[in-house]
Amino acid sequence: GNIDIDPLFRDPENSDYHLMSTECGDPHDSPCIDTGHPDIIDNLLDCSWGLGTILSDMGAYGGGDSVQVGIDERIFQVPDRLTLLQNYPNPFNAVTILNYSLPRSSEITVSIYNLLGQRVATLFQGIQGGGKHTITWDATNFPSGVYFARLKFGELTQNVKMLLLR
């Protein structure tokens, strides 16, 4: 139904539609507190923020001024060593993904070699920051066979064996 009396919102001129509440049962509280549906009971016993102790409140909002929601910020950690993970999928048909980690910013090269040791593709060559990275190899124009992905980081190299199947 309709409410025929002022619901006593905190500050509707500034878009604060929380219900006015001082102490549980205070006569200056909103008449909408504890007037909700009788079958819905609040689990929170603190009514000082517009939440009733017996019945769910009516109104645009009950509860405190703000509720924090979101994802916890993750702390970014730079890996302490060079790592080239196995590609996936493997075996693959046309496209595969390589993940690698760098301990610091440096000049790197990510290349693909065939069984004869010939470099057949360079996926990345340049300076890249420390941390985790992903690169995709689209082998659509390459024949089936065994290939090696090589990550070169300064004097260090790491390789993974990959199988391209058509």
Q: Phi first, then psi: give them for residue 138, nearest 5 degrees.
A: -95, 105
Cα 37 to Cα 9, 48, 126, 140, distances in angstroms:
19, 20, 65, 63
The pLDDT assigned to 79 comes to 79
The pLDDT assigned to 66 comes to 56
Range list for CATH 2.60.40.1930 in the chain: 83-164
pTM of this structure: 0.55
The pLDDT assigned to 11 comes to 81
How would residue 140 be classed by pLDDT, with cut points 50, 70 and 90? very high
How would residue 146 be classed by pLDDT, with cut points 50, 70 and 90? very high
Cα 92 from Cα 11, distance rounded (Å): 61
What is the DSSP-derived secondary structure letter of residue 103? Answer: S
What architecture is the 83-164 domain classified under in CATH? Sandwich (2.60)
Q: Is pLDDT above 90 for 69? A: no
Q: Is pLDDT above 50 for 158? A: yes
